[in-house]
Amino acid sequence: MPDTSRRLGAAALSGHDLHLSYDARTVVHGAGLDLVPGEVTALIGPNGSGKSTLLRSLARLHRPDAGTVTLDDAADALALHPRDFARRVTLLSQSRPTPSGVNVRDVVAYGRHPYRGRFRSNDADGPRAVAHAMEVTGITPMAERGVDELSGGELQRVWLATCLAQDTGVLLLDEPTTYLDLRYQVELLDLVRDLATEHGVAVGVVLHDLNQAASVADHVVLLQMGVVRASGSAEDVLTSELLTEVYGIHVDVYTHPLTGRTCCEPLGRHASRAGAALHV
């Protein structure tokens, strides 16, 4: 169930007692999740733990067998008109088809679809939103390039800009650092943090990298085999005992001496336990 002890305000987007399945096989069992304005919530867990499925259910892309999804004042977010929902919630999924013959600026402008009339009209704020999204993601110099010419990392930034151009209060990100090099991984996570802190966006993000989750998230949700095993701050959830049990490999956890952040180090057969223990 969601941890409500930390809440300063109402959740923007919530899932309650969600049961989710594929072909009659239940993959998420009674999970709860709150995404709060101004906070980043990171979903972590092994492959197949239900992270992406849970996020997709909040985006209305996976209908629950049981449970409810609520959005602000809407008791049932699943009943909202798709255009109304898209003005309030956006999702950056793991993969999207790459269009051909379209330049970067036009792809980013796809994010304005929920605001446009039948003939692409009535979106006076569109050009500003598109320009801003391209600027903050660093893709303005490639505005006229065809998206089918881009690298995987460049394309990932374009899709993120498309989501930002949608200008919603809830941003869902499914493994957004995939394909990005080290610099853009860090810059993307900084951007996610800024969106929450400076603009009050409620962010839900699926991450495999535990250290990235610790660095960006106010709240961490750990799933295992479709069940929420722990939910709380990084310090509370990212413990050596729990991570070692859930991931099936020894994980050392220590506090970084410079940043004060929680750091996780999985130890394989060739790792030096003695060296890692110096961090503890």
Domain extents in the chain: 13-233, 239-280
Q: Is pLDDT of 126 > 60?
A: yes
At 164-178, the pLDDT tens digits run 999 999 999 999 998
Task: Locate 59 and state its tokens.
Answer: 């985006």
pLDDT class for 97, splitting at 50, 70, 90?
A: confident
Phi/psi at 256 (nearest 5 deg)?
-65, 130
Summarize the confidence of residues 197-218 as an average pLDDT: 95
40-49, 115-124, 172-181, 259-268: which is most confident: 40-49
pLDDT at 280 over 90: no
Q: How confident is residue 64, by pLDDT bands cut at 50, 70 and 90? A: very high
**Roughly what angle, to the nearest 10 degrees, separates helices 152-165 and 182-199?**
10
Confidence of residue 2 (pLDDT cuts 50, 70, 90): very low
pLDDT at 216 (0 to 100): 96
Rounded CA gap, 210 and 253, in Å? 10
Angle 126-136/152-165 helices, nearest 10 degrees?
Answer: 140
Q: How far apart (Å, rounded) are the C-alpha atoms in residues 280 and 277?
A: 5
Q: How far apart are CA 252 and CA 269, in angstroms?
A: 14
| Locus of tokens 């993601």 | 137
Confidence of residue 11 (pLDDT cuts 50, 70, 90): confident
- Distance of alpha carbon 12 from its chain centroid, rounded? 15
Q: What is the homologous superfamily of the domain 13-233 according to CATH?
A: P-loop containing nucleotide triphosphate hydrolases (3.40.50.300)
pLDDT band at 119 (very low <50, low <70, confident <90, very high): low
CB atoms within 10 A of CB 24: 6
Buried b (16+ CB within 10 A) or exposed e, 259-268: eeebbbbebe
Average pLDDT over residues 146-163: 90
pLDDT at 179: 80
User: How far lies 197's CA from each of 79, 144, 150, in Å?
Assistant: 30, 32, 31
> What average pLDDT does the segment 250-255 reach?
95
Q: What is the reported pLDDT for 45?
A: 97
Using only C-alpha atoms, the chain has a radius of gyration, in whole angstroms, of 19
What is this structure's pTM? 0.88
- Angle at alpha carbon of residue 111, lines to 105 and 116, rounded to 5°: 105
Predicted confidence band of residue 7 (pLDDT cuts 50, 70, 90): very low
pLDDT more than 70, % of the chain:
91
Contact 255, 246 (CB under 8 A): no
- In DSSP notation, 219-231 reads EEEEEETTEEEEE
